[in-house]
Amino acid sequence: MNKTIIITIKLLLLLFFINGCSEDFLDLQPLDQEVTSNFYQTEEQAFQALVAVYDVLTYQSTPGVSWAPFITVADALSDDAFAGGSDANDGFQFDQLNNFTIPTTSPIAHAIWIKNYVGVYRANLFLERIDGIDASQSFKDRAIAEAKFMRAYFYLEQVRFFENIPLLTKTISGPSEYQQEQNAPHEVYNQIALDLVEAIKDLPESVPQPEKGRITKWAAKALLARTYLFYNGVYGEELYAGDITVDRAYVLGELEGLIANSGHDLFEDYSHNFSLVGEFGVESVFEISMGDTPEWWDWGYVRGGHGNLAAQMQGPRVAGSNNWNRGWSFAPVSHKLAEFLRGDPRFEYTILTEEEIDGTLTKGYQHTGYFSRKYSSDAEHWGSGGQFELNRTANKRVIRFSDVLLMAAELDSPNKQAYLDRVRDRVGLPSVPATTENIFRERRLELSLEGIRYFDLLRRGLDYANQELTHSGIRGPNYEGDQVIFDVTFDPATKGFMPVPQTEIDLSAGAFVQNAGY
């Protein structure tokens, strides 16, 4: 969605939406004439409320809890990156993720939990109020579809991280409903599937330039495929969207339609995927707008801005450089991934090596000599104003067309060889047989450091995840520190899920049960 639209409405709704669950806020008289009881009345107000749901897509931190950009968290959990930070203390909480020693009090886990339920709450509130708004039916149909997509997106992130979560499809109306029970995973995944199937019917096939960032039906079809592949891989079951069985054939049909009819395609130049020139380009099926509008200064309320925190956290700690500056060296890339990519044309667009960096490099905790190039503190994405670290302008690419091609190939499309070849041909690589192993191998080559690897491992089974995530003695020539700080032992008892935050268990008055292994 257009960044200017987001910011204008965001400032208007700041007090009303963001502080809505604060006890102190409930004791205050309204500072404005627009409150819940009279806000949802016009189409303009409905659009403002819809933007407030979209806004949560940009959240990467929870005030007073933790910073938790999805990509940084997911890559630190995987074998593609470590924890990093300036020193062992700075990176301590991310090190717990990387080492699978996550405490139930992890502020990172809690920040993720809160963020997604903020999104769910706003989507639910919007869906409850939209029918009573004086607006055209076409506006309502599209807006409802967008809200359902976003609710599905928030729930997919939440259930893949935590597995056992409460499923809320309406807002909580009072204290009698505060103690919600956790739902079985299949209930959550089926609701995600239902939301996406229903959304697909009323989402547009394309959006005009001023609305880039708004959801299309192709994004919903691709997210349905991502949901299905994870759920089917982990649980071995099909999805049910009401009376519709969402199985491999159904999902493949949606992907084949996307590939044939969406107009999406691969960039001729792979590097455009993570450059400003490629924002909302032909390869981007679902992308979240990030940037420096408004210019943001407030360290106390970081999520008020839209800078890409993953790019800030993962950039190298460099001063005096014309190309890289003032990153924090979280999620340093592993030698294992560097060796996997060695010789592949995508290496230079995926991994930044310390030898390429000009200026003065300060080596942080778990320094490997490798950094993400896809989300980094590179000069192209420096903000034009505001606090330098809070205004990185790199959009978050959630689903790319290359991922769609590889998902369709994995689902055994009759065109799977052509789809795999298409991804490889783009970077000048020869054809290889479209076996399951080669398709997964290509996914890692193509999609590394995009927050995808960890979930690809989990859906291939715990034995495989344990084999890949447990590693010792793999060191590169530029590693700094004793071997022990790089050794990782996966804990299959947790099944790869985070603990339910202890704070939420306490608030549930015994309704929540802690996840296995914690």
> What is the model's pLDDT at position 36?
61
Q: Which residue has the higher pLDDT, 176 or 276?
A: 276
At 40 the pLDDT is 81
Token look-up 């020539």 returns 477
Q: How many residues does the chain have?
A: 518
Give the CA angle between residues 115, 119, 122 to the nearest 5°.
Answer: 135
Q: Using one digit for the tens of pLDDT, what is the confidence trace for 208-232?
A: 999 999 999 999 999 999 999 999 9
Long-range contacts of 151-154 (CB under 8 A, 24+ apart): 151/119, 151/120, 151/123, 151/124, 151/127, 151/195, 152/191, 152/192, 152/195, 152/196, 152/199, 152/220, 152/223, 152/227, 153/57, 153/119, 153/223, 154/56, 154/116, 154/117, 154/119, 154/120, 154/123
State the CB neighbour count (10 A cutoff) for residue 45. Answer: 20
Q: What is the pLDDT of residues 426-464, one digit of tens each?
A: 999 999 999 999 999 999 999 999 999 999 999 999 999
Contact 255, 411 (CB under 8 A): yes
d(CA 330, CA 328): 6
Mean pLDDT of the chain, nearest integer = 92
In a domain, 516, yes or no: no
**pLDDT at res. 33:** 52
Report residue 37's pLDDT band, with 50, 70 and 90 as the boundaries.
Answer: low
53 falls within a domain = yes
The answer as to whether 378 is a domain residue is: yes
Is residue 119 one of the residues assigned to a domain? yes
Task: Identify the CATH number of the domain in which residue 438 sits.
Answer: 1.25.40.390
| pLDDT tens sequence across 93-137 | 999 999 999 999 999 999 999 999 999 999 999 999 999 999 999
* DSSP structure class, residue 104: T
- Distance in Å from the first CA to the final CA of the chain: 40
- The rounded radius of gyration (Å) of the Cα atoms in the chain is 22
- Closest by CA to 81, choosing from 89, 91, 90, 117, is 91
Distance CA 152, CA 194 (A): 9
Interatomic CA distance for residues 370 and 383, integer angstroms: 24
In a domain, residue 440? The reply is: yes
Name the band, by pLDDT with cuts 50, 70 and 90, for residue 176.
Answer: confident
Q: At 415, which amino acid appears?
A: N
For residue 297 the two structure tokens come to 């200064």
Residue 228 has a pLDDT of 99
**118 vs 62: CA distance, rounded Å:** 10
The confidence score (pLDDT) of residue 477 equals: 95
State the Cα–Cα distance between residues 30 and 271, nearest whole angstrom: 49
Beta strands in 427-505 (DSSP E): none
Counting residues of the chain whose pLDDT is more than 70, the rounded percentage is 93
Residue 42 lies in a domain: yes
* CA–CA separation, 34 and 446 (whole Å): 47
Is the pLDDT assigned to residue 2 strictly greater than 60? no
Tokens matching residue 345? 């044309």
Q: Are strands 61-62 and 370-372 parallel, antiparallel or unpaired?
A: unpaired
Backbone torsions φ then ψ of 30, nearest 5 degrees:
-60, 140
Does the residue 512 lie in any domain? no
Separation between Cα atoms, residue 97 and residue 66, nearest integer Å: 14
pLDDT of res. 177: 80
pLDDT at res. 27: 33
Does residue 518 sit within a domain?
Answer: no
For residues 340-348, give the mean pLDDT.
Answer: 98
CA distance 104 to 409: 38
Q: What is the pLDDT of residues 258-309, one digit of tens each?
A: 999 999 999 999 999 999 999 999 999 999 999 999 999 999 999 999 999 9
Contact 453, 465 (CB under 8 A): no
Share of the chain above pLDDT 90, in %: 89
The number of domains in the chain is 1
**Residues sharing a CB contact under 8 Å with residue 162, sequence separation 6 or more, in sequence order:** 109, 113, 497, 498, 500, 515
Q: Which amino acid is at 457?
A: L
Reported confidence tier of residue 175, pLDDT bands at 50, 70, 90 = confident
Q: How far apart are CA 255 and CA 435, in angstroms?
A: 19
Query: Which range of residues forms the domain containing residue 409?
Result: 3-507
Amino acid at 439: I
pLDDT at 198 over 90: yes
Per-residue model confidence as pLDDT tens digits over 16-35:
333 333 333 223 344 445 55
